[in-house]
Chain A
Amino acid sequence: MEDVQIVQLYWDRDEAAISATADKYGAYCAAIARNILGDPEDAAECVNDAYLRAWNAIPPHRPQALSTFLGKITRNLALNRYRLGRAEKRGGSRLPAVLEELSFVAGGEDAEQALDRRELVDALNDFLAGLPARKRTIFLCRYWYLDSIAEIGARLGMSENHVSVTLRRLRRKLRDHLLERGIDV
């Protein structure tokens, strides 16, 4: 089913919207949640919450891209769930490793410096815009989708070591970029 048809189902308050969403984007959302939370059951609950959020948001919202709309909801819910400790830390989550990597760019998890969220997002968009598409994809696969180094390497035909080195350089570049913009890291 095309996204436009699924969105119309939401607008028509037709519950087939949920099954159509699950059919087309269930695995996609589950992978995002699983990468963050680790546990499949927690991830499934998170995805169900995402469907409910989508149901409540459409209408009035008409997402321009249903995949990223659902992906963002799922990612945010999973991060919140992780942060609030609702997800039991059973292992399998890639979040600790990713946070560890990002600690080179930002303060640790406990850092409490005020920041302007909009300014930070703008800086990130500028940073990404300045990257070649392939490096941008590597960066987002790791830090947006929380894919493993091995998965990224396999998809892009790169060794794990090559992916790790690329990510390390990208983190350094991001840190410099943020500092140049006056963002306190």
Chain B
Amino acid sequence: MNTMDLLEALGDVREEYLREARAVRDPAARASGRGKRRRAVLLAACVCLVLASVTALASGRFGTWVLTIFTDRQLAVDYSESGYDLFVDAERIPADALKGDVREAGAEIARQYRDYRPYSSWFPGHWRRTFPSRAEGGDYIGLDGLKQPELDAEEQETEVNVYGDADGTIRSLTLDTAYTAGDIRLQFSARIYTEDYTEDITTGVRTTEHAAYTESLYTTERGLSCQVLTSTALESGYAGIDGYLVDGGVLYDLHIAYQEAEAERAQALLHQWADGF
């Protein structure tokens, strides 16, 4: 063992000791840090959200709106990112509309908070269950009208993620299923926000690689608008296409990763999915 080994091993000592020392080094760390105001970047983000909200209200319909699309945006000296942000206007679902066993997740989340031990517990507020099929995951949620469009792809694993408060109130949940179609990878998500979710909803994509995104709209056979964002290929050779659609108070999105040679098939899968609503 040399001195660097010892110094590095010290890096892994119990976090409680580090917090104890930090409280002496920085007495402000003992306080919660409440009351500090954020910088202009957050303010700018809020302004964008407000503008988007106004747009959504003016349009009088639910859906998604692009807030920003960016390529190689510099965030730090040697760190840039590409991606986009969407504003989502979706109806909030009453908690009693969730008729499946997912309601028990609220009690589990409350228990997480109650039993939370800062040094050994998983972060409270998030409950996850996996299911062998999307249909079973949907049953677990038990929301009438939850759409399960067909996809010519092989269904893989499904999971339900539930997010809630310390009092067991469920604020949002997602039903996520992975699919494969040859070398094409798909991820289908349904995101549900309850009436207790009072913040604006945004979603988006980030990559630290160079990628350019383009936006378009696809009108489904039923006349619904599906927002489509396509990205150029990443270093892996996979390009991406994402479809977003709000229906019945649920935000649905399908992410497809594909090699350039399968662009047409990826597009066909997206249309099949969107037309299933």
**Which listed residue, B6, B18, B73, B208, touches A120 by the CB 8 Å rule?**
B6
CA distance A156 to B21 in the complex (A): 11
Q: A126 to nearest B CB, angstroms?
A: 10
By size class, the interface of chain B is 35 or more
- CB within 8 Å of B: which A1-51 residues: 1-2, 4, 7, 12-16, 18-20, 23-24, 28, 44-45, 48-49, 51
Q: How far is the CB of B82 from chain A (nearest CB, A)?
A: 11
**Residues of chain B with a CB closer than 8 A to A16's CB:** 38, 41-42, 45
Q: Which residues of B contact A140 (CB under 8 A)?
A: 10, 13, 17-18, 20-21
Tally of A-B residue pairs with Cβ under 8 A? 173
Partner of B3, one of A99, A137, A183: A99
Residues on B with beta carbons closer than 8 Å to the beta carbon of A137: 20-21, 24
B204 interfacial by beta-carbon distance below 8 Å: yes
A107 engages B3 (CB within 8 Å): yes
A108, CB-defined interface residue at 8 Å: yes
* Interface set, chain A 99-120, CB cutoff 8 A to B: 99, 102-103, 105-113, 115, 117, 120
- Please give, as numbers and ranges, the residues of chain A lying within 8 Å of B122 by CB-CB distance: 62
Shortest distance from the beta carbon of A133 to any chain B beta carbon, whole Å? 6
CA of A124 to CA of B8 in the docked complex: distance in angstroms? 11
The count of residues in chain A whose C-beta lies closer than 8 Å to any C-beta of chain B is 69
Decide: B25 and A120 in contact? CB cutoff 8 A: no
Query: Which B residues are CB-close (under 8 A) to A136?
Result: 17, 20-21
Per DSSP, are chain B's interface residues mostly helix, strand or loop, or mixed? mixed
Cβ of A159 within 8 Å of any chain B Cβ, yes or no, is: no
A156 / chain B contacts, CB cutoff of 8 Å? 24
Contact of A110 among B2, B42, B85, B125 (CB under 8 A): B2
Given A68-B15, A68-B18, A137-B24, 18 other A-B residues pairs in contact with their CB atoms under 8 A: A1-B38, A2-B34, A4-B123, A14-B45, A15-B206, A16-B42, A49-B78, A68-B19, A83-B4, A109-B3, A109-B4, A111-B1, A111-B2, A124-B9, A125-B14, A140-B10, A140-B17, A155-B24
Residues of B within 8 A of A (CB): 1-15, 17-22, 24-26, 29, 32-34, 36, 38-39, 41-42, 45, 73, 75-79, 81, 83, 85, 118-119, 121-123, 125-126, 202-206, 208
5 tightest A-B contacts by CB?
A: A111-B2, A48-B76, A62-B123, A140-B21, A106-B6
